[in-house]
Amino acid sequence: MRPDYAEKIPNNVGLAQDRRLQRALESWQPNFLSWWESMGPALPTKDVYLRTAIDVRGDGWATFGHVPMLDYRWGIFLADRAPGRQIAFGAHKGEPAWQKVPGEYRAELQRLIVIQGDTEPASVEQQRNLGATAPSLYDLRNLFQVNVEEGRHLWAMVYLLHAYFGREGREEAEELLHRNSGSQDSPRILGAFNEETPDWLSFFMFTYFTDRDGKYQLGTLKESAFDPLSRTCEFMLKEEAHHMMVGTTGIDRVVERTAQVMAENDTDDVAAHGAIPLPVIQKYLNFHYSVSLDLFGGETSTNVANYYTAGLKGRWLEERRKDDHQLTGDAIMVDALHDGQISQAEVSALVGLNTDLRREYTADCAGGVKRWNRILEEAGLPHRLYLPHAAFNRRVGAFAGIEASPVGERLTAAEWAARKDDWLPTDTDKTFVRSLMRPVHERGKIAAWVAPPRGAPRGGGINNQPFDYDYVHLA
């Protein structure tokens, strides 16, 4: 079913046939727009070259055009329903997927949807001021595309809360607009979404590491026995791919520019030449990766085991797994502390599902590091970036109570205090990076600390447009 753009709220869920739900969502819409104006992108614009979904399937699922930001058509889109879909895992394996919320799982499903929904506006809030220091119009457009799609993902979760969870769901939908990233009184639920995103290196790292966590969380919810949640997340994953592309290629371009400056000047000290030193890039990588690992929760979790058994939340690519999809007799090795030492322990596979998901994520993240090291290798440089050890800079899970180096060396509190500035961004590092964040809002131009996309100036843009296309018209 194609989205109906004649509606006040574009949708492919037949909203016009449920007048009560339609009225409830139309009453929430002004609150969303008020939140967007006060907490969304701060840079005034006339219009932006944005992608808008027009279908949920096929290659032609989106259209591109210049749109005033407040006129963007946020809507509610679910992937097509699969006839005869059965639950693929857990105690209900083989039963028909649920079209309504089972009473016994109502609270758990609502909580999962609220947590996912809370991350979407949080990232918009974190990125609110980045437009003022965009390194190019191409990058500015990509920032705004990420922002509007995070806004639509908020709509996706709000629809589920309104449609399936009654008064409590409507109240939770209101709270999604009342919490704010970094607020002392009403912070966002998950720690990573209360961190600052004050510069574009942080933004690229966030969209690479933290949005990648979102990919894996959405992937587990896509397996849900609750079919509307599954279909919602399936379409969200289609949009999420662009967010990770922004991060992947953004870091590509930062590393490429640094490598160019190192080679041209035969020096590692590129700060004096307006580029970001590799050690600083590594520090930002260390921070964002470790903070994103915390989003997976503890290495073991009885709650997640119960979600799996109930059919609420599966594994990444559940139906490709070669096991019984119930895991009652299986085991997994997880990170643990043993006699104060970093070690591993064997636990039930059900209890270790967080570890299973985190390992999929870590392997995916390693692919980016391989890309960036290939750039350094092609530039003839011996330097290499790396992912830090899972025990490094952790505040959740088995290693939350200890300190460890990026290579997994156990440290005393004093050793950590003496050495952490070698591994995490210091105030001096952050101040330097921010000093480079001077806006470049002229067509075809780009800041000196980042390389243009591959193929520029004739190519490398969005939707086959050149890099020097007029992606954003500023107010």
Q: What is the pLDDT of residue 74?
A: 95
Give per-residue pLDDT as tens, 275-311: 999 999 999 999 999 999 999 999 999 999 999 999 9
Tell me how far apart the alpha carbons of residues 235 and 143 are, in angstroms, rounded to a whole number: 20
Average the pLDDT over 16-20 and give the result: 95
Q: Is 444 left (phi over 0), alpha (psi -120 to 50) or beta?
A: left
* Bond before 41 cis per omega within 30 degrees: no
Task: Give, in degrees to the nearest 5, the angle at Cα 196 between 193 and 200.
Answer: 110
User: Exposure pattern of 2-13 as b/e (b: 16+ CB <10 Å)?
Assistant: ebeeeeebbbbb
Q: Which residues contact residue 308 at a Cβ distance below 8 angstroms, ignoring those fewer than 6 apart?
A: 89, 90, 314, 315, 327, 350, 353
- Look up residue 24 and give its two tokens: 């409830």
Say what percent of the chain tops pLDDT 90.
96
Tell me how far apart the alpha carbons of residues 80 and 232 are, in angstroms, rounded to a whole number: 9
Locate the DSSP E strands across 293-431: 331-338, 341-348, 403-404, 410-411
44-48, long-range: CB < 8 A, 24+ apart: 44/474, 44/475, 45/69, 45/131, 45/144, 45/472, 45/473, 45/474, 45/475, 46/473, 46/474, 46/475, 47/472, 47/473, 48/140, 48/141, 48/144, 48/145, 48/471, 48/472, 48/473
Give per-residue pLDDT as tens, 197-225: 999 999 999 999 999 999 999 999 999 99
Give per-residue pLDDT as tens, 346-393: 999 999 999 999 999 999 999 999 999 999 999 999 999 999 999 999
What SS3 state is found at 465? coil
243 against 458, higher pLDDT: 243
Q: What is the pLDDT of residue 2?
A: 80
Q: Which residues contact residue 333 at a Cβ distance below 8 angstroms, ignoring those fewer than 6 apart?
A: 344, 345, 346, 347, 352
Q: What is the pLDDT of residue 184?
A: 96
Q: What is the pLDDT of residue 227?
A: 98
Instruction: Note the Cα 228 to chain centre separation in Å.
Output: 21
Q: If you search the block for the tokens 């026995």, which residue do you land on?
A: 225
Q: What is the pLDDT of residue 261?
A: 98
Tell me how far apart the alpha carbons of residues 224 and 314 are, in angstroms, rounded to a whole number: 6
* Separation in Å, CA 196 to CA 38, 125, 127, 287: 17, 9, 8, 12
* 5 — pLDDT class (breaks 50, 70, 90): confident
Q: What is the pLDDT of residue 460?
A: 81
Tell me how far apart the alpha carbons of residues 30 and 19 are, in angstroms, rounded to a whole number: 18
Q: If you search the block for the tokens 């969005």, which residue do you land on?
A: 462
Average the pLDDT over 386-414 and give the result: 97
Give per-residue pLDDT as tens, 230-272: 999 999 999 999 999 999 999 999 999 999 999 999 999 999 9
